Structure 1
Amino acid sequence: MSSSTPRRTVLAAALAAAGAAAASTAPPASAAPPATAPTAPTAPADAAALGGRDGAGGLVDNRFWTSYTDWRCGTAEGVRPVARRRPALVLDAPVGRTDYTDPHSGRTATWEYGRWTSPRHTPAVPATEVIASWNADTPAGTWIAVELSARYTDGTDTPWYVMGRWASGDGDILRTSVDGQRDGRSSVWTDTLAIDDASAGPRLESYRLRLTLHRAPGSGLTPTVWRVGAMASDIPDRFTVPASEPGIARELAVPRYSQNTHVGQYPEYDNGGEAWCSPTSSQMIVEYWGRRPTAGQLAWVDPAYADPQVCHAARFTYDHQYEGCGNWPFNAAYAATYDHLDAVVTRLRSLTDLETLIAADIPVITSQSFLKEELTGAGYGTAGHLMTVIGFTADGDVVANDPASPTNEAVRRVYRRREWENIWLRTKRYNATGKVVSGTGGVCYVYWPTHATPAQRRALAAVGIR
């Protein structure tokens, strides 16, 4: 059901050793789940402002650099901050040139570049995973690289890991993640830096991000970066989570698009629409906020295809290394190419957090995996799937635009609250063969207007996003 399936399966296998101890004491798939999850350690007093740590959610720490002061606090080499209503980082006087051979096109080109390195950020509690995301404009002839280096709790550092080589178009470089990045204690799995064995090894105490802005030599062009940052988390291993109490009853009018409308279309992008849950969900929310591609931008799409904007989203979220459209930060970056939209990848700790955003008219794209029998009414099972939460019923059940539906009209679904929150928030589950594999632990995409209302800003801050 999702283009993220192969990558998440690999990640689950790679982290199996970390879950072995949990699996030995977890209930079998047919057993009733425990009433509560293990209680995590108490956090510092300021943890709630960052996303917090509690028995249900664990640590979720967001840090994004967006303001003029943020950009001035970093180390600039050939780049400068610009003070606008939406402050940004741009190329000023490039500090060097580099040759880049695109591993997917084979094309070698020379680029001028400048760099910005963030101050070191220390999460409230050391983390087991870090996921970066960014919002930028890259006109033709420009692109950016985003790297991350973390410090372990024993004082040593990871290498500079590439978290993405990205451009909004595909004429200069082919946007890509980078495989094979590891140092024996941590690894990058497409878009996620993860500790290899969280049960035994050191955690990630702090991190820095590095942006490299590239342009064609002598062109005078520049990428413009409005936001860069990361979500660091330490979510306890859990097969089930405590049940939450229903809050609001509200439903948002989000456009409905089915990925299955596009089955077989443009197979060069992850075999076509049957794998496009992520870009289809992204397009729904882009249009909820009143943005969409222009007719000129859609001119490449076969006019016989319905909803060409979904094809557009698939093409421009596609990761040429992962060979799929489910790269989490690439989807957020795609959404932020539309005027005055901000977008991040994060985790939420509970359905209560999600209700906080829905109450402020902010829909959320969530990532989950489940067996067919674990989600009543879905009609399928999946090792990784994105859907858009648009509201809650009076009984607290989840109203979702599920792109894995046969038609646009069938996209709106109502899923049982208890089932849905467990498949979304757990970090461990049993697959169809009874093997212990990973769950996403509350991962989601959040997109919102740059000039949000005061109520929306309060809701975002309440879940740790600024």
Structure 2
Amino acid sequence: MTRPAETSRRTLLAAAAGVAVAATAGVSAPAVASAPGAAPAHRPRRRAAARLVDNRAWTSYADWRGGTDAGTRAVAGRRPGLVIAKAAGRSDYTDPHTGAVATWEYATWTSPAHRLAVPSTEVIASWNAHTPAGTWLQVELSGTYSDGTDTPWYVMGRWAAGDQDIRRTSVDGQSDDKSSVWTDTFAIDAPATGLRLVSYRLRLTLYRAPGSTVTPTVWRLGAMGSDVPDRFTVPESVPGLARELTVPRYSQNVHAGQYPEYDNGGEAWCSPTSSQMIVEYWGRRPSTDDLAWVNPDFADPQVCHAARFTYDYQYEGCGNWPFNAAYAATYQDLQGVVTRLGSLTDLETLIAAGIPAITSQSFLKEELTGAGYGTSGHLMTVIGFTADGDVIANDPASPNNPAVRRVYKRREWENIWLRTKRYNASGNVSSGTGGVCYLYFPAQLTDRQRTALAAVGVR
């Protein structure tokens, strides 16, 4: 998401605007391929730096039972979740994007306070849920600052998998005199003062039509807090893996001009295109009925589908980070989270376990050899590493699907992804994402997948 440079160290919260290019450029163990001349899975490497990220998620039956409920009920089973048991009340909602007014009954669940292991300048929530027709949900966050005062309740998203009942939306204009919400991210307004968020609670409100017996089901709710220091460069990591995952290749530019009502068309769809690649890597895809609305003359209709169902009607873009993770989790037994990683070593850990990642970065054309474009914010999918440690990426900012696979120089790629400060084309200081990525993975993990995710702070 783009936000004014003067309000935060990061001028973009996602690459939903796609690439501002200067030139065109149920499976638990999907197929993988080793790079030619592959090195052993792990070479010696330097000890990882101290973590700058705190992840907490509520996913288990005990987690859901541990919160404060008003009308919700925890459901046990293979994938524990939270549902409406009995409405706690009714409220009217005026959809700001359609003007429609409707009455909904609701129930709420509030998490226990989570004390951040990393007192944070930013927090991003994620959720995984099923919202049948006639239902939707809202996620809110409230926290305590390091000076002992509290934030208001901030809306982090109003979401439904479909768009027939409400239009999924972020909420602008939320701020006190210490913090603000920029589309999908809570941010301390002046981190240089030393103020941090030290704890938070999440509140989940589930909505359905009055008198209905259908209910949303939420399987995962959590947030990532971080305090990444300002930096133009990051330490160089030592290559430790040579492996390439077999991930479908989709170009966003194939869809240029298609469905301009969703973020001006495919040239801006780097985020949903990347999301669709990994959804299909895990063996999931929309059904024929799901795609019936897409013009049959369009190639790869599932990419159009992903754009429509990640679209944030307030931001007017497809790059809301939690909305992409939530989209991935609408497919059977997939989970999606937004986090930050600390180095390419973390990405190697995931790739070694067969887990690709969607990363957010911004750069000038000359900063990434072979890209052929510059961008103020772009998502691409990391699928592996060469024997020399260079990054193998499925880059949707490519002219066609076969051209999507790219190899980028390790040092260049690592720096543009992990830095928080950069110089833009005008020579002014802009911001970078500091290692933001989306991770999608099965609900039922193998031991190796679980260990790899835990190693990068995700459980």
Above 0.5 in TM-score? yes
Give the drift of 1:335.
0.2
The gaps in structure 1 that reach 5 residues or longer are 1-6, 19-53
Match of 2:114 in 1: 121
Letter in 2 for 1:305: F
Give the drift of 1:125.
2.5
Measure, in 1, the Cα distance between the counterparts of 2:455 and 2:126: 20
Superposition map of 1:203-214 within 5 A: 203-214=196-207
Superposition map of 1:193-342 within 5 A: 193-342=186-335
Establish whether residue 366 from structure 1 lines up as the match of residue 359 from structure 2. yes
Give the drift of 1:58.
4.9
Match of 1:383 in 2: 376
Measure, in 2, the Cα distance between the counterparts of 1:426 and 1:264: 32
Establish whether residue 463 from structure 1 lines up as the match of residue 418 from structure 2. no
Which structure exhibits the higher relative contact order, with contacts defined as CA atoms closer than 8 Å and separated by 6 or more residues? 2
Superposition map of 1:171-210 within 5 A: 171-210=164-203
Measure, in 1, the Cα distance between the counterparts of 2:91 and 2:52: 39
Measure, in 2, the Cα distance between the counterparts of 1:263 and 1:429: 28
Q: CA RMSD in A?
A: 1.3
Letter in 1 for 2:446: T
Give the drift of 1:200.
1.0
1:401-436: CA deviation from partner (whole Å, max 9, x where unpaired)? 000000000000000000000000001111111111
Letter in 2 for 1:92: A
Match of 1:46 in 2: none
* Counterparts in 2 of 1:298 and 1:150: CA distance versus 1, 3 Å: same
Measure, in 1, the Cα distance between the counterparts of 2:444 and 2:205: 27
Establish whether residue 425 from structure 1 lines up as the match of residue 385 from structure 2. no
Match of 2:34 in 1: none
How many residues get paired? 424
Contact 1:371 1:432 in 2 (8 A): yes
Contact 1:100 1:111 in 2 (8 A): yes
Give the drift of 1:16.
5.3
Q: Which runs of 4+ in 1 moved over 4 A?
A: 54-58
Measure, in 2, the Cα distance between the counterparts of 1:11 and 1:130: 18
3-state DSSP of counterpart to 2:401: coil
Give the drift of 1:13.
3.2
Contact 1:195 1:201 in 2 (8 A): no
Establish whether residue 78 from structure 1 lines up as the match of residue 71 from structure 2. yes
Measure, in 2, the Cα distance between the counterparts of 1:238 and 1:349: 13
Match of 2:391 in 1: 398
Contact 2:10 2:420 in 1 (8 A): no
Match of 1:437 in 2: 430
Give the drift of 1:150.
1.3
Measure, in 2, the Cα distance between the counterparts of 1:292 and 1:165: 24
Give the drift of 1:57.
6.5
Establish whether residue 102 from structure 1 lines up as the match of residue 88 from structure 2. no
Letter in 1 for 2:310: T
TM (normalized to structure 2)?
0.91
Superposition map of 1:346-361 within 5 A: 346-361=339-354
Match of 1:33 in 2: none
3-state DSSP of counterpart to 1:122: strand
3-state DSSP of counterpart to 1:459: helix
